[in-house]
């Protein structure tokens, strides 16, 4: 490849041969030139080859003047970013304003001054190169940010799974329970989003974060003694009081991990779910006895999802209930254990719950 092939390309459009000859002699030593005598021929040249880096357009030309040619170039995505300098003998403010209005970046008046032409050409080519480099850097930066975002998301997901699995290893419940409750929460949220009072709170982003944080709902069980956590029979009243502390233990563990930093959006949902998923709509739940809408929405969704899965799953101390019986128990708890709006959403997606249960069934 020779040096000339690397030179910037300039489109020169002028119907006066003497002007063309002067500009060609001036620019050819340093630039690759595309020469046309009017706007129509210039458009043909633009379609035939790669776009130029700069255009010098005479304003007054037959068939298509420079102003119309500029409009056409700016309307074409291939040539819209090419800087355009107008050349005119008119020299009136009104004509210059017309040129700027259609997209020109500069004006050169006739008779042509070679030093001025060369200076304007160098300046606008340098500006174009700088804009192109900035755009390239922005694309690179966007790629880096996207890669870092994916990396952070993956790290977050792995951390969540690790924490949830830690609780799972000490509990009778299974990893499939974590999957099922995740998808139950997501499906309830998607259904509830269709109701105006909840649409603003249940954005796509909010539902995604609830879905991701749902597996942490019982992470506090790592702090419950094995004799209670793994007991095959019914807990005594005293044992149950200890078991109930897993909500506060999980919340406190997440808060300690923050080390006094402000919770991220994700951790706010994790804290809500972890600490409040055993609260009840009528205020008889734990750990704080929250009532009604004082219970965070994410926790109200998790409460139903967790109970449904507990009812329909086999444990060493109980057989699994079928879907119909579990549904009846949940509907009976509307307004007492569960938010009535969440129960109404559950009624509309019970078939999806059954499909989720089949997809993520416990292994024998």
Domain positions in the chain are 3-140, 169-359
Whether 175 shows a pLDDT value over 70: the answer reads no
Give the per-residue pLDDT at 1.
44
Buried b (16+ CB within 10 A) or exposed e, 296-311: bbbbbbbbbbbbbbbb
Give the per-residue pLDDT at 331.
96
Average pLDDT of the chain is 87
Give the per-residue pLDDT at 46.
92
pLDDT, mean of residues 231-239: 87
Q: Which superfamily does 169-359 belong to? A: Hypothetical protein af1432 (1.10.3210.10)
Q: If you average pLDDT over each of 102-106, 110-114, 351-355, which comes out highest?
A: 351-355
Which residue stretches of 214-332 are H helix? 226-229, 237-243, 246-258, 265-276, 297-312, 323-332
pTM of the model: 0.60
Whether 5 shows a pLDDT value over 60: the answer reads no
pLDDT, mean of residues 114-131: 91
Whether 93 shows a pLDDT value over 60: the answer reads no
Nearest to 184 by CA among 283, 363, 327: 327
Residue 3 pLDDT class (50, 70, 90 cuts): very low
Q: Which two tokens stand for residue 290?
A: 């929250």
Output the CATH code of domain 3-140.
3.40.50.2300
Give the per-residue pLDDT at 355.
96
């Amino acid at each position: 490849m020779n040096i000339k092939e690397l030179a910037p390309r300039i489109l020169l459009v002028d119907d006066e041969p003497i002007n063309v000859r002067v500009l060609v002699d001036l620019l050819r030593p340093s630039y690759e030139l595309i020469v046309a005598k009017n706007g129509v021929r210039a458009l043909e040249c633009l379609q035939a080859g790669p776009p130029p880096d700069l255009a010098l357009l005479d304003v007054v030309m037959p068939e298509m003047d420079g102003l119309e040619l500029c409009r056409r170039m700016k309307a074409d995505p291939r040539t819209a970013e090419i800087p355009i300098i107008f050349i005119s003998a008119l020299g009136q403010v009104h004509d210059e304003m017309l040129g700027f209005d259609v997209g020109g970046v500069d004006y050169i008046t006739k008779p042509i001054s070679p030093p001025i032409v060369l200076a304007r050409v160098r300046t606008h080519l340098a500006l174009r190169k700088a804009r192109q480099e900035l755009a390239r850097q922005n694309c690179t930066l966007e790629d880096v940010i996207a890669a870092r975002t994916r990396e952070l998301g993956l790290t977050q997901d792995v951390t969540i799974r690790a924490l949830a699995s830690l609780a799972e290893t000490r509990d009778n419940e299974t990893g499939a329970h974590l999957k099922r409750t995740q998808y139950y929460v997501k499906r309830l949220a998607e259904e509830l989003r269709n109701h105006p009072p909840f649409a603003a709170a249940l954005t796509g982003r909010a539902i995604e974060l609830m879905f991701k944080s749902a597996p942490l709902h019982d992470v506090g069980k790592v702090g419950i003694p094995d004799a209670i956590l793994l007991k095959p029979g019914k807990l005594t009243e005293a044992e149950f009081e200890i078991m109930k502390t897993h909500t506060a233990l999980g919340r406190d563990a997440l808060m300690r991990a923050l080390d006094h930093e402000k919770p991220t959006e994700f951790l706010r949902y994790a804290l809500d779910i972890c600490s409040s998923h055993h609260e009840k709509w009528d205020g008889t739940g734990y750990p704080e006895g929250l009532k009604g809408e004082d219970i965070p929405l994410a926790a109200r969704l998790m409460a139903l999802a967790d109970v449904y899965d507990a009812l329909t799953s086999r444990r060493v101390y109980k057989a699994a209930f079928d879907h119909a019986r579990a549904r009846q128990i949940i509907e009976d708890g509307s307004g007492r254990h569960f938010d009535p709006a969440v129960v109404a959403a559950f009624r509309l997606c019970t078939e999806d719950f059954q499909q989720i249960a089949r997809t993520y069934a416990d292994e024998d």
